[in-house]
Amino acid sequence: MNVAYRLLARRDRSRFEIREALKKKDFEKNIIEEVISDLTEKGYLDDQKFAKVYGGSLARNRKVGPNYVMNKLIKKGVDRSLSHEAVAELFSDQEEIQNQLHSLIEKKMGRLKVGLSQIQIKKRLYDFLAGKGFGSDAIIKALNRYKSF
């Protein structure tokens, strides 16, 4: 139990992360499930809260899109439906997403080599934004709104 408390003292974690950490410490399966159940009952372990906090942190700090956040949450062991809810809530404001994309385009444009054709620039920007986890519809809309090509 102390191991789980120490892990949670540093940051929120998903049930999967706690389970895996305890497995690595060679705890028995029934003990692990008992600890997870106890932590959940006490409110220390909540995958829904974790998904919102961790997803929001990724979106703010790493400037990533919904696809990236969704994949990270699933890798952290958060249920797909909870991940989907958190992502839908975090990325509900389409205007904010477009502003974020515009900001990323501005930043990337300063680093692109001079002498590239407009098509090459758009392709590089598209690939960059897709790699950040934004959907194709949002990227295309942002690229069409961007005036400095």
Question: Helix or strand or coil: residue 53?
Answer: helix
104 Cβ neighbours under 8 A, 6+ residues apart: 63, 128, 129, 132
14 Cβ neighbours under 8 A, 6+ residues apart: 47, 50, 51, 76, 77, 78
Return the CATH fold of 47-90.
Answer: Arc Repressor Mutant, subunit A (1.10.10)
pLDDT tens per residue across span 56-110 = 999 999 999 999 999 999 999 999 999 999 999 999 999 999 999 999 999 999 8
Closest CA to 143 of 127, 122, 112, 117: 122
Domain boundaries of the chain, sorted by first residue: 2-41, 47-90, 94-145
pTM, two decimals, is 0.91
pLDDT tens per residue across span 99-140 = 999 999 999 998 887 888 999 999 999 999 999 999 999 999
Q: How far apart are CA 31 and CA 22, in angstroms?
A: 9
